[in-house]
């Protein structure tokens, strides 16, 4: 099983995503200055929790995912909300955003999704292709990026955040299910990308992009990286 197949079938993260995305939505809305004029593209939207939390705060939000299951969930969830559009990304052309047509955005979000890409070249291509749909002054946020050097810190900080946020039991349950599920098997067979700062700086060095590494945590994994990108 590869990652696209896993996300099409597995429901292991669906419930916990509600909690983790709420944390992100509240923190990121401050950092990104999300307001009633914001037009957001959410790439890798999952079951649409970011759309739920930001819908009352933004002008419009477009959700996209390769998982047909998630796309169906989102379309059913927001079928009466004119502020939300939902698109299916082609699994074999997931860096192709031409389906957006004339849509333009103040913010583009990649939340907890890039680590499941095949390689860093696809990450770069996806970011650059998406950037074509930014409004002047628009920003791209790459959020919840794991760094191999912080593996144990990642686990510890996640549990500490869960304890402080009073969802430790749910967090422990998630970790237990991950260990004894197709997630663990898929991760054994298909790598998860790591994003250290120097590698990412080098990756976008030839693009003229302004990269800002955010020091404040945005997700339930405080040890993970969050990168804000602005392109010329």
Residues of the chain with pLDDT under 50: 149-152
CA angle, 145 then 147 then 148, to 5°: 145
Q: What pLDDT, on a 0 to 100 scale, did the predictor assign at position 149? A: 47
- Domains of the chain plus CATH, in order, are 3-230 (3.40.50.150)
> Angle of helix 14-31 relative to helix 168-179, nearest 10 degrees?
120
pLDDT at site 96 = 97
**The predicted structure's pLDDT at residue 220:** 83
Q: Reduce the DSSP state of residue 178 to 3 states and report it.
A: helix
Question: 71 with 51: CB under 8 angstroms?
Answer: no
What letter would DSSP give residue 119? Answer: -
What pTM value is reported for the model?
0.83
Strand pairing report for 84-88 and 210-213 = unpaired
Nearest Cα to Cα of residue 161 among 23, 16, 18: 23
Nearest residue to 219 via CA among 67, 31, 81: 31
Q: What is the pLDDT of residue 151?
A: 45
For residues 34 and 135, give the distance between their C-alpha atoms in angstroms, rounded to a whole number: 15
Residue range 64-117, pLDDT digits in tens: 999 999 999 999 999 999 999 999 999 999 999 999 999 999 999 999 999 999
Q: Is residue 101 left, alpha or beta, with left meaning phi > 0 and alpha meaning psi from -120 to 50?
A: left
Q: Where are the beta strands (DSSP E) in 112-198?
A: 134-145
Per DSSP, the three-state class of 129 is helix
Per DSSP, the three-state class of 146 is: coil
pLDDT at 192: 78
Q: Residue 79's CB: how many other CB atoms inside 10 A?
A: 9
From 20, 12, 50, 44, select the one nearest 187 (Cα to Cα).
12
């Amino acid at each position: 099983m590869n990652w696209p197949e896993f996300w099409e079938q597995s429901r292991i993260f669906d419930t916990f995503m509600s909690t983790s995305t709420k944390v992100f939505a509240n923190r990121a809305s401050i950092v990104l200055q999300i307001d009633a004029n914001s037009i957001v593209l959410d790439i890798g939207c999952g079951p649409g929790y970011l759309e739920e939390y930001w819908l009352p705060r933004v002008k419009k939000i477009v959700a996209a995912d390769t998982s047909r299951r998630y796309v169906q969930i989102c379309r059913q969830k927001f079928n009466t909300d004119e502020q939300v559009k939902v698109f299916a990304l082609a699994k074999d052309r997931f860096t192709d955003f031409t389906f957006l047509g004339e849509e333009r955005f103040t913010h583009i979000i990649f939340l907890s999704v890039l680590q499941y890409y095949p390689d860093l070249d696809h990450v770069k291509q996806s970011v650059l292709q998406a950037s074509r749909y930014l409004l002047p002054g628009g920003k791209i946020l790459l959020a919840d990026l794991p760094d191999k050097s912080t593996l144990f810190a990642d686990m510890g900080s996640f549990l500490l955040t869960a304890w402080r946020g009073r969802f430790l039991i749910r967090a422990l349950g998630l970790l237990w299910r991950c260990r004894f599920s197709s997630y663990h098997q898929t991760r054994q067979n298909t790598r998860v990308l790591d994003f250290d700062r120097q590698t990412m700086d080098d990756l976008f060095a030839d693009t003229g992009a302004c990269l800002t590494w955010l020091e404040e945590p945005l997700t339930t994994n405080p040890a993970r990286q969050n990168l804000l990108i602005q392109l010329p």
